[in-house]
Structure 1
Protein backbone atom coordinates (compact mmCIF):
# COMPACT_ATOMS: atom_id res chain seq x y z
CA UNK A 1 0.00 0.00 0.00
CA UNK A 2 1.14 3.50 -0.74
CA UNK A 3 -0.05 7.09 -0.88
CA UNK A 4 0.80 9.08 -4.00
CA UNK A 5 0.29 12.78 -4.67
CA UNK A 6 -0.31 14.52 -7.98
CA UNK A 7 -0.36 18.33 -7.92
CA UNK A 8 -2.59 19.87 -10.57
CA UNK A 9 -3.21 23.53 -11.36
CA UNK A 10 -6.28 25.45 -12.46
CA UNK A 11 -8.88 27.80 -11.07
CA UNK A 12 -11.43 27.89 -8.27
CA UNK A 13 -14.61 29.87 -8.96
CA UNK A 14 -17.42 30.69 -6.54
CA UNK A 15 -19.71 33.61 -5.77
CA UNK A 16 -18.51 35.68 -8.72
CA UNK A 17 -14.78 35.33 -8.05
CA UNK A 18 -12.08 33.20 -9.68
CA UNK A 19 -8.66 32.36 -8.27
CA UNK A 20 -5.63 30.42 -9.51
CA UNK A 21 -5.00 27.34 -7.35
CA UNK A 22 -2.79 24.29 -7.05
CA UNK A 23 -4.58 21.18 -5.80
CA UNK A 24 -3.34 17.97 -4.23
CA UNK A 25 -4.84 14.90 -5.87
CA UNK A 26 -4.28 11.81 -3.71
CA UNK A 27 -4.00 8.21 -4.90
CA UNK A 28 -4.42 5.55 -2.23
CA UNK A 29 -3.72 2.02 -3.40
CA UNK A 30 -1.37 -0.78 -4.36
CA UNK A 31 -0.11 -2.22 -7.63
CA UNK A 32 -3.56 -3.45 -8.65
CA UNK A 33 -6.18 -0.92 -7.51
CA UNK A 34 -6.43 2.65 -6.36
CA UNK A 35 -8.83 5.16 -4.84
CA UNK A 36 -8.57 8.66 -6.30
CA UNK A 37 -9.27 11.44 -3.80
CA UNK A 38 -10.29 14.79 -5.34
CA UNK A 39 -10.04 14.72 -9.15
CA UNK A 40 -8.85 18.27 -9.76
CA UNK A 41 -8.25 20.08 -13.05
CA UNK A 42 -6.50 17.45 -15.21
CA UNK A 43 -8.17 14.08 -15.80
CA UNK A 44 -5.49 12.93 -18.27
CA UNK A 45 -2.67 13.56 -15.82
CA UNK A 46 -4.51 11.77 -13.02
CA UNK A 47 -5.27 8.83 -15.30
CA UNK A 48 -1.57 8.65 -16.20
CA UNK A 49 -0.69 8.48 -12.50
CA UNK A 50 -3.21 5.68 -12.05
CA UNK A 51 -1.18 3.77 -14.61
CA UNK A 52 -3.69 1.17 -15.65
CA UNK A 53 -4.72 0.14 -12.14
CA UNK A 54 -8.38 -0.46 -11.39
CA UNK A 55 -9.94 2.68 -9.92
CA UNK A 56 -12.34 1.60 -7.17
CA UNK A 57 -13.79 5.09 -6.80
CA UNK A 58 -13.26 8.82 -7.23
CA UNK A 59 -13.90 10.25 -3.76
CA UNK A 60 -14.69 13.96 -3.46
CA UNK A 61 -13.84 15.53 -0.11
CA UNK A 62 -16.27 18.30 -1.12
CA UNK A 63 -17.70 19.74 -4.31
CA UNK A 64 -15.98 23.09 -4.79
CA UNK A 65 -15.21 23.15 -8.49
CA UNK A 66 -11.43 22.96 -8.11
CA UNK A 67 -11.82 19.59 -6.36
CA UNK A 68 -14.34 18.03 -8.76
CA UNK A 69 -13.86 19.67 -12.16
CA UNK A 70 -12.04 16.63 -13.60
CA UNK A 71 -14.21 14.01 -11.88
CA UNK A 72 -16.72 13.26 -14.68
CA UNK A 73 -13.99 12.95 -17.30
CA UNK A 74 -11.94 10.67 -15.05
CA UNK A 75 -15.02 8.58 -14.32
CA UNK A 76 -15.69 8.21 -18.04
CA UNK A 77 -12.10 7.18 -18.70
CA UNK A 78 -11.85 4.65 -15.85
CA UNK A 79 -15.41 3.44 -15.33
CA UNK A 80 -15.15 4.31 -11.62
CA UNK A 81 -18.01 5.96 -9.71
CA UNK A 82 -17.76 9.50 -8.44
CA UNK A 83 -18.51 9.50 -4.68
CA UNK A 84 -19.82 12.60 -2.88
CA UNK A 85 -21.63 13.39 0.34
CA UNK A 86 -25.26 14.26 -0.55
CA UNK A 87 -25.12 17.56 1.38
CA UNK A 88 -22.72 18.91 -1.24
CA UNK A 89 -24.97 18.30 -4.22
CA UNK A 90 -25.81 22.03 -4.32
CA UNK A 91 -22.13 22.81 -4.93
CA UNK A 92 -21.73 19.90 -7.33
CA UNK A 93 -24.51 21.28 -9.51
CA UNK A 94 -22.68 24.61 -9.77
CA UNK A 95 -19.72 22.77 -11.29
CA UNK A 96 -21.58 20.06 -13.22
CA UNK A 97 -25.22 20.97 -13.93
CA UNK A 98 -25.81 17.95 -16.17
CA UNK A 99 -23.79 15.26 -14.37
CA UNK A 100 -24.58 13.33 -11.21
CA UNK A 101 -22.30 11.50 -8.76
CA UNK A 102 -22.39 7.73 -8.79
CA UNK A 103 -22.55 7.12 -5.07
CA UNK A 104 -22.83 8.69 -1.63
CA UNK A 105 -20.06 9.23 0.91
CA UNK A 106 -22.24 8.84 3.99
CA UNK A 107 -20.65 9.32 7.41
CA UNK A 108 -19.34 5.97 8.61
CA UNK A 109 -19.05 4.41 5.16
CA UNK A 110 -15.91 2.36 4.62
CA UNK A 111 -14.12 2.35 1.27
CA UNK A 112 -11.85 -0.67 0.89
CA UNK A 113 -8.84 -0.46 -1.41
CA UNK A 114 -5.68 -2.52 -1.56
CA UNK A 115 -6.51 -4.35 1.65
CA UNK A 116 -7.05 -1.28 3.85
CA UNK A 117 -10.16 0.58 4.94
CA UNK A 118 -10.76 4.31 4.42
CA UNK A 119 -13.38 5.53 6.89
CA UNK A 120 -15.61 8.42 5.81
CA UNK A 121 -15.90 11.20 8.42
CA UNK A 122 -18.51 13.88 7.70
CA UNK A 123 -16.79 17.15 8.62
CA UNK A 124 -19.00 20.05 7.48
CA UNK A 125 -17.97 23.67 7.74
CA UNK A 126 -15.85 24.47 4.70
CA UNK A 127 -18.74 22.97 2.74
CA UNK A 128 -21.93 21.32 4.01
CA UNK A 129 -20.99 17.92 2.63
CA UNK A 130 -17.26 18.06 3.35
CA UNK A 131 -15.74 14.75 4.38
CA UNK A 132 -12.34 13.46 5.45
CA UNK A 133 -11.08 9.94 4.83
CA UNK A 134 -9.26 8.24 7.72
CA UNK A 135 -7.09 5.18 7.09
CA UNK A 136 -6.13 3.72 10.49
CA UNK A 137 -3.82 1.06 9.05
CA UNK A 138 -1.65 3.77 7.50
CA UNK A 139 -2.07 6.40 10.20
CA UNK A 140 -3.29 8.76 7.49
CA UNK A 141 -6.09 11.29 7.12
CA UNK A 142 -7.11 12.89 3.84
CA UNK A 143 -8.59 16.19 4.99
CA UNK A 144 -9.58 17.98 1.79
CA UNK A 145 -10.05 21.63 2.75
CA UNK A 146 -11.20 20.96 6.32
CA UNK A 147 -7.80 21.04 8.03
CA UNK A 148 -4.48 22.45 6.82
CA UNK A 149 -1.04 22.99 8.22
CA UNK A 150 -1.74 25.99 10.45
CA UNK A 151 -5.49 25.87 10.78
CA UNK A 152 -8.95 25.18 9.42
CA UNK A 153 -10.13 25.66 5.87
CA UNK A 154 -11.69 28.92 4.74
CA UNK A 155 -15.27 29.72 5.70
CA UNK A 156 -15.81 33.09 4.04
CA UNK A 157 -17.76 31.78 1.03
CA UNK A 158 -21.38 30.67 0.57
CA UNK A 159 -22.37 27.35 2.14
CA UNK A 160 -19.55 27.56 4.71
CA UNK A 161 -19.62 28.24 8.44
CA UNK A 162 -16.79 28.86 10.91
CA UNK A 163 -18.34 27.44 14.13
CA UNK A 164 -19.32 24.32 12.18
CA UNK A 165 -15.81 23.68 10.85
CA UNK A 166 -14.32 24.19 14.33
CA UNK A 167 -16.79 21.68 15.75
CA UNK A 168 -15.96 19.19 13.00
CA UNK A 169 -12.22 19.51 13.58
CA UNK A 170 -12.38 19.35 17.35
CA UNK A 171 -14.86 16.45 17.55
CA UNK A 172 -13.89 14.33 14.56
CA UNK A 173 -10.23 15.06 13.74
CA UNK A 174 -8.34 16.21 16.84
CA UNK A 175 -9.53 13.05 18.60
CA UNK A 176 -7.47 10.93 16.19
CA UNK A 177 -3.99 9.73 17.23
CA UNK A 178 -1.48 12.58 17.42
CA UNK A 179 0.89 10.89 14.99
CA UNK A 180 -1.77 10.73 12.23
CA UNK A 181 -0.41 12.29 9.03
CA UNK A 182 -2.81 14.80 7.50
CA UNK A 183 -2.74 14.86 3.70
CA UNK A 184 -4.39 18.17 2.78
CA UNK A 185 -6.21 19.44 -0.29
CA UNK A 186 -3.64 22.17 -0.91
CA UNK A 187 -0.09 22.65 0.31
CA UNK A 188 1.99 20.65 2.74
CA UNK A 189 1.13 17.72 4.99
CA UNK A 190 0.83 18.12 8.73
CA UNK A 191 0.06 15.90 11.74
CA UNK A 192 -2.87 15.89 14.12
CA UNK A 193 -0.50 16.41 17.04
CA UNK A 194 0.93 19.54 15.42
CA UNK A 195 -2.49 21.16 14.96
CA UNK A 196 -4.34 20.14 18.13
CA UNK A 197 -2.63 22.65 20.46
CA UNK A 198 -3.83 25.59 18.35
CA UNK A 199 -7.59 25.03 18.57
CA UNK A 200 -8.23 27.87 21.01
CA UNK A 201 -6.11 30.24 18.90
CA UNK A 202 -8.19 29.39 15.84
CA UNK A 203 -11.39 30.09 17.73
CA UNK A 204 -10.10 33.47 18.90
CA UNK A 205 -8.97 34.43 15.40
CA UNK A 206 -12.28 33.33 13.94
CA UNK A 207 -14.13 35.77 16.15
Structure 2
Protein backbone atom coordinates (compact mmCIF):
# COMPACT_ATOMS: atom_id res chain seq x y z
CA UNK A 1 0.00 0.00 0.00
CA UNK A 2 1.16 3.51 -0.83
CA UNK A 3 -0.30 6.47 1.07
CA UNK A 4 0.30 9.93 -0.39
CA UNK A 5 -0.87 12.93 1.72
CA UNK A 6 -2.31 15.68 -0.49
CA UNK A 7 -2.25 19.22 0.85
CA UNK A 8 -1.02 22.34 -0.91
CA UNK A 9 2.33 23.41 0.58
CA UNK A 10 1.39 27.10 0.59
CA UNK A 11 -1.68 26.33 2.75
CA UNK A 12 -3.36 29.35 1.14
CA UNK A 13 -6.82 27.88 1.60
CA UNK A 14 -8.20 26.24 4.75
CA UNK A 15 -8.43 22.61 3.77
CA UNK A 16 -7.92 19.20 5.29
CA UNK A 17 -5.17 16.77 4.40
CA UNK A 18 -6.51 14.34 1.83
CA UNK A 19 -4.95 10.90 1.39
CA UNK A 20 -4.49 9.14 -1.92
CA UNK A 21 -4.15 5.39 -1.35
CA UNK A 22 -2.78 3.10 -4.06
CA UNK A 23 -1.79 -0.55 -4.26
CA UNK A 24 1.89 -1.33 -3.94
CA UNK A 25 2.00 -3.24 -7.25
CA UNK A 26 -0.76 -1.45 -9.23
CA UNK A 27 -2.73 -4.64 -9.83
CA UNK A 28 -6.10 -4.67 -11.64
CA UNK A 29 -7.91 -5.61 -8.41
CA UNK A 30 -6.57 -2.56 -6.53
CA UNK A 31 -8.93 0.34 -5.88
CA UNK A 32 -7.27 3.72 -6.18
CA UNK A 33 -8.89 5.66 -3.36
CA UNK A 34 -9.00 9.31 -2.32
CA UNK A 35 -9.92 9.85 1.32
CA UNK A 36 -11.47 13.33 1.53
CA UNK A 37 -11.32 15.88 -1.28
CA UNK A 38 -10.29 19.10 0.44
CA UNK A 39 -12.03 22.44 0.07
CA UNK A 40 -13.79 24.05 -2.89
CA UNK A 41 -10.73 25.99 -4.06
CA UNK A 42 -10.01 24.82 -7.65
CA UNK A 43 -6.29 25.16 -6.93
CA UNK A 44 -6.56 22.16 -4.60
CA UNK A 45 -7.78 19.89 -7.40
CA UNK A 46 -5.09 21.27 -9.72
CA UNK A 47 -2.46 20.44 -7.11
CA UNK A 48 -3.91 16.93 -6.66
CA UNK A 49 -3.79 16.34 -10.42
CA UNK A 50 -0.17 17.41 -10.57
CA UNK A 51 0.82 14.91 -7.87
CA UNK A 52 -1.25 12.15 -9.46
CA UNK A 53 0.29 12.67 -12.88
CA UNK A 54 3.70 11.73 -11.50
CA UNK A 55 2.67 8.43 -9.90
CA UNK A 56 2.00 4.99 -11.46
CA UNK A 57 -1.66 4.10 -11.07
CA UNK A 58 -2.02 0.79 -12.89
CA UNK A 59 -2.49 0.18 -16.60
CA UNK A 60 -5.81 1.55 -17.82
CA UNK A 61 -6.91 2.59 -14.32
CA UNK A 62 -8.25 5.93 -13.21
CA UNK A 63 -6.21 7.78 -10.62
CA UNK A 64 -9.29 7.98 -8.39
CA UNK A 65 -11.74 5.11 -8.66
CA UNK A 66 -13.46 5.84 -5.38
CA UNK A 67 -13.70 8.62 -2.81
CA UNK A 68 -14.36 8.12 0.89
CA UNK A 69 -15.58 11.21 2.73
CA UNK A 70 -14.85 11.10 6.46
CA UNK A 71 -17.60 13.69 6.97
CA UNK A 72 -19.37 16.45 5.12
CA UNK A 73 -17.63 19.59 6.44
CA UNK A 74 -16.54 21.89 3.61
CA UNK A 75 -12.79 21.48 4.17
CA UNK A 76 -13.14 17.71 3.68
CA UNK A 77 -15.80 17.47 0.98
CA UNK A 78 -15.82 20.80 -0.89
CA UNK A 79 -13.53 19.58 -3.65
CA UNK A 80 -15.74 16.62 -4.55
CA UNK A 81 -17.23 18.17 -7.68
CA UNK A 82 -13.80 18.88 -9.17
CA UNK A 83 -12.66 15.31 -8.48
CA UNK A 84 -15.87 13.96 -10.00
CA UNK A 85 -15.37 16.07 -13.12
CA UNK A 86 -11.95 14.49 -13.60
CA UNK A 87 -12.49 10.86 -12.57
CA UNK A 88 -16.21 10.04 -12.06
CA UNK A 89 -15.50 7.98 -8.91
CA UNK A 90 -17.87 6.10 -6.66
CA UNK A 91 -18.40 8.22 -3.53
CA UNK A 92 -18.69 6.59 -0.13
CA UNK A 93 -20.14 8.80 2.62
CA UNK A 94 -22.40 8.40 5.63
CA UNK A 95 -24.93 10.73 4.02
CA UNK A 96 -25.19 10.03 0.26
CA UNK A 97 -23.03 12.45 -1.73
CA UNK A 98 -21.85 12.92 -5.28
CA UNK A 99 -23.03 11.63 -8.63
CA UNK A 100 -22.35 7.96 -7.84
CA UNK A 101 -23.30 7.78 -4.15
CA UNK A 102 -22.49 4.72 -2.07
CA UNK A 103 -24.00 5.21 1.40
CA UNK A 104 -21.81 3.85 4.18
CA UNK A 105 -23.06 1.32 6.71
CA UNK A 106 -21.21 0.91 10.00
CA UNK A 107 -18.75 -1.96 9.63
CA UNK A 108 -18.98 -1.91 5.84
CA UNK A 109 -16.05 -3.66 4.05
CA UNK A 110 -14.22 -1.90 1.24
CA UNK A 111 -11.00 -2.45 -0.70
CA UNK A 112 -8.72 0.57 -0.29
CA UNK A 113 -5.62 0.47 -2.45
CA UNK A 114 -4.66 -3.19 -2.19
CA UNK A 115 -5.98 -3.79 1.32
CA UNK A 116 -9.24 -4.82 2.96
CA UNK A 117 -10.70 -1.95 4.97
CA UNK A 118 -13.62 -1.48 7.33
CA UNK A 119 -15.66 1.73 7.41
CA UNK A 120 -16.57 2.71 10.98
CA UNK A 121 -19.23 5.20 12.00
CA UNK A 122 -17.56 7.37 14.66
CA UNK A 123 -19.92 10.25 15.51
CA UNK A 124 -18.90 13.02 17.87
CA UNK A 125 -16.99 15.59 15.84
CA UNK A 126 -20.02 15.45 13.55
CA UNK A 127 -22.98 13.12 13.31
CA UNK A 128 -21.76 11.73 9.98
CA UNK A 129 -18.10 11.14 10.90
CA UNK A 130 -16.51 7.90 9.76
CA UNK A 131 -13.04 6.37 10.03
CA UNK A 132 -11.36 4.01 7.58
CA UNK A 133 -9.49 1.14 9.27
CA UNK A 134 -7.14 -1.27 7.49
CA UNK A 135 -6.63 -4.19 9.91
CA UNK A 136 -3.70 -5.85 8.09
CA UNK A 137 -1.43 -2.85 8.65
CA UNK A 138 -3.24 -1.25 11.59
CA UNK A 139 -3.76 1.92 9.53
CA UNK A 140 -6.51 4.33 10.57
CA UNK A 141 -7.67 7.28 8.46
CA UNK A 142 -9.49 9.26 11.11
CA UNK A 143 -10.75 12.46 9.48
CA UNK A 144 -11.50 14.84 12.37
CA UNK A 145 -12.44 12.11 14.84
CA UNK A 146 -8.87 12.07 16.20
CA UNK A 147 -6.82 15.14 17.00
CA UNK A 148 -4.41 16.04 19.78
CA UNK A 149 -6.39 16.41 23.01
CA UNK A 150 -3.88 17.23 25.72
CA UNK A 151 -5.98 18.65 28.56
CA UNK A 152 -9.38 18.46 30.28
CA UNK A 153 -10.54 21.98 29.41
CA UNK A 154 -13.00 21.09 26.66
CA UNK A 155 -16.43 19.50 26.79
CA UNK A 156 -17.50 16.65 24.54
CA UNK A 157 -20.67 14.81 23.52
CA UNK A 158 -21.20 11.28 24.78
CA UNK A 159 -21.08 10.05 21.19
CA UNK A 160 -17.50 11.28 20.89
CA UNK A 161 -16.43 9.49 24.05
CA UNK A 162 -18.08 6.31 22.74
CA UNK A 163 -16.26 6.65 19.41
CA UNK A 164 -12.87 7.07 21.10
CA UNK A 165 -13.54 4.05 23.28
CA UNK A 166 -14.30 2.04 20.16
CA UNK A 167 -11.10 3.15 18.41
CA UNK A 168 -9.04 2.41 21.51
CA UNK A 169 -9.97 -1.28 21.20
CA UNK A 170 -8.48 -1.55 17.70
CA UNK A 171 -4.90 -2.56 16.94
CA UNK A 172 -3.96 0.82 15.46
CA UNK A 173 -0.34 1.26 14.42
CA UNK A 174 -0.61 4.42 12.31
CA UNK A 175 -3.11 7.29 12.34
CA UNK A 176 -3.59 9.57 9.34
CA UNK A 177 -5.69 12.50 10.62
CA UNK A 178 -7.50 15.16 8.66
CA UNK A 179 -5.26 17.87 10.14
CA UNK A 180 -1.74 17.61 11.48
CA UNK A 181 1.06 15.12 11.02
CA UNK A 182 0.52 11.36 10.76
CA UNK A 183 1.13 9.43 13.96
CA UNK A 184 3.26 6.45 13.04
CA UNK A 185 4.75 5.60 16.44
CA UNK A 186 2.77 4.55 19.52
CA UNK A 187 -0.51 5.26 17.73
CA UNK A 188 -2.60 3.17 20.13
CA UNK A 189 -1.07 5.04 23.07
CA UNK A 190 -2.01 8.31 21.37
CA UNK A 191 -5.64 7.20 21.07
CA UNK A 192 -5.73 6.04 24.69
CA UNK A 193 -4.27 9.36 25.86
CA UNK A 194 -6.96 11.27 23.94
CA UNK A 195 -9.60 8.99 25.44
CA UNK A 196 -8.28 9.55 28.97
CA UNK A 197 -8.39 13.34 28.57
CA UNK A 198 -11.89 13.29 27.11
CA UNK A 199 -13.17 10.92 29.79
CA UNK A 200 -11.99 13.37 32.48
CA UNK A 201 -13.67 16.30 30.75
CA UNK A 202 -17.32 17.42 30.98
CA UNK A 203 -19.51 15.11 28.89
CA UNK A 204 -22.70 16.40 27.28
CA UNK A 205 -25.76 14.17 27.05
TM bucket (normalised to shorter chain) is: 0.7 to 0.9
Q: Which residue of 1 aligns with 2:3?
A: 3
Bigger helix share:
1
Identify which of 189, 192, 195 aligns with 2:188: 192
Within 1, Cα distance between the matches of 2:116 and 2:168? 20
Within 2, Cα distance between the matches of 1:84 and 1:50? 23
**Aligned CA distance change for structure 1 residues 151 and 23 (closer, same or farther; 3 Å):** farther
Deviation at 1:149, TM superposition (A): 3.2
Deviates more, 1:161-170 or 1:100-109: 100-109
Q: Which residue of 2 aligns with 1:46?
A: 48
Within 2, Cα distance between the matches of 1:203 and 1:40? 31
Unaligned runs of 5+ in 2: none
Q: State the 4+ residue runs in structure 1 displaced beyond 6 angstroms.
A: none
Q: Which residue of 1 aligns with 2:65?
A: 56
With normalisation by structure 2, the TM-score equals 0.77
Unaligned runs of 5+ in 1: 12-20, 93-98
Within 1, Cα distance between the matches of 2:113 and 2:75? 27
Q: For 2:199, what is the secondary structure of its paired residue? A: helix
In the alignment, does 2:170 pair up with 1:176? Answer: yes
For 1:19-168, what aligned pairs fall within 5 Å after superposition? 21-30=14-23, 32=26, 33-41=31-39, 42-51=44-53, 53=57, 54=62, 55-86=64-95, 102-150=101-149, 162-168=157-163
Larger radius of gyration: 2
Within 2, Cα distance between the matches of 1:113 and 1:201? 32
Number of corresponding residues: 180
Q: For 1:137, what is the secondary structure of its paired residue? A: coil
- CA RMSD after TM alignment: 2.6
Q: Are the aligned partners of 2:148 and 2:194 in contact in 1 as well (CA < 8 Å)? A: no
Bigger strand share:
1
**Aligned CA distance change for structure 1 residues 195 and 66 (closer, same or farther; 3 Å):** same
